[in-house]
Amino acid sequence: MALRTAEAQRAYRVLRHNWEALSGFEQPEDLVTFLTAREGESHIKDGLLAGLVMLVQMGAAANAFVALLWLGLWPGLDSVYRRCLRRMESAPVEVVSSIAASFMGLVARVELSGVQRVAATLVRGTERDVLKEWHKEFEAQRQRVRLGRLAEADGGAPSGPWPVPSVLRARSFSTEVEELRALLLPLMGEDTDLVVSVLLREEDYAEAAASFGLAPAAARKRVQRALVRLRKMKNKIPEKDFLSQIGGWG
């Protein structure tokens, strides 16, 4: 993902000449620094990321612009890597490969017209797709184990390993998080994913803020305000005791 190759430098010069939004970023490294900084307006960052996504989708100097996308979203994608590494208990190289495939697949198909926050969509969507594929493989493994048990009962040799208990726990956690997110979405709106990241996935504010292109202080304030709104709705939401788990009533 080097930005100093002749091809990358040439592609960036052409892009900067034709894209006014890049006038303040003389070198591609300057753009990456802006995109990964905690400071800066999130809507400006999203506009730049959206432009890069469209360029990649069009196949224009794809390698150079893919590198800019990766590096511009690196803090969030790095957080995805560390979370997936803990949950999947796979080799680091396998986790990296899964993230790369999911990220590029999402970039290729995302419809920007329906996206409000590009950074959050790409980062969270990548994590969702990685875990979804992992769950799919887990189910396939469980099916192979079941068939192996049947074969063993018929006198044949078992065909696969037993599921690891920690994998079962991780799968259960991910499923519960998605269920809670679906219940919180109508109540918290656009702050749902941020609240889930901080209070369920136990990310610190700096880590969560990086995924959403926010400053840590802004992320903290949005979470606090979302919880205040949630507490005010307590009497209007019957039998939602799960909210106490994330501090909704606390």
pTM of the model: 0.62
CA distances for 249 relative to 2, 120, 196, 245, angstroms: 48, 27, 15, 9
Kindly tell me if the per-residue pLDDT of 249 is higher than 70.
no
Task: Report how far residue 175's alpha carbon sits from residue 162's, in angstroms, rounded to the nearest whole number.
Answer: 21
Query: Which tens digits make up the pLDDT trace of 58-93?
Result: 886 667 889 999 999 999 999 899 888 877 778 899
Is the CB of residue 70 less than 8 Å from the CB of residue 77? yes
Residue with tokens 């994590």: 127
Is the CB of residue 55 less than 8 Å from the CB of residue 17? no
Kindly tell me if the per-residue pLDDT of 166 is higher than 50.
no
Kindly tell me if the per-residue pLDDT of 45 is higher than 80.
yes
Write down the pLDDT at residue 243. Answer: 47
- Give the angle subtended at the CA of 136 by the CAs of 131 and 140, to the nearest 5°: 145
Task: Report how far residue 237's alpha carbon sits from residue 19's, in angstroms, rounded to the nearest whole number.
Answer: 48
DSSP states along 75-113: HHHHHHHHHHHHHH---HHHHHHHHHHHHHHHHHH--GG
Task: Report how far residue 57's alpha carbon sits from residue 196's, in angstroms, rounded to the nearest whole number.
Answer: 30
Kindly tell me if the per-residue pLDDT of 152 is higher than 70.
no
Write down the pLDDT at residue 122. Answer: 94
Query: Which tens digits make up the pLDDT trace of 179-232?
Result: 777 878 887 888 888 888 888 777 778 878 877 878 888 888 999 888 888 887
Query: Which tens digits make up the pLDDT trace of 89-125?
Result: 788 999 999 999 999 999 999 999 888 889 989 998 9
Percent of the chain topping pLDDT 90 = 31
Task: Report how far residue 223's alpha carbon sits from residue 202's, in angstroms, rounded to the nearest whole number.
Answer: 13
What pLDDT band is residue 167 in, cutting at 50, 70 and 90? very low
Percent of the chain topping pLDDT 70 = 76
Q: What are the boundaries of each domain within the chain? A: 167-250
Write down the pLDDT at residue 242. Answer: 47
Q: Which token pair is 50?
A: 């959206």
What pLDDT band is residue 25 in, cutting at 50, 70 and 90? very high
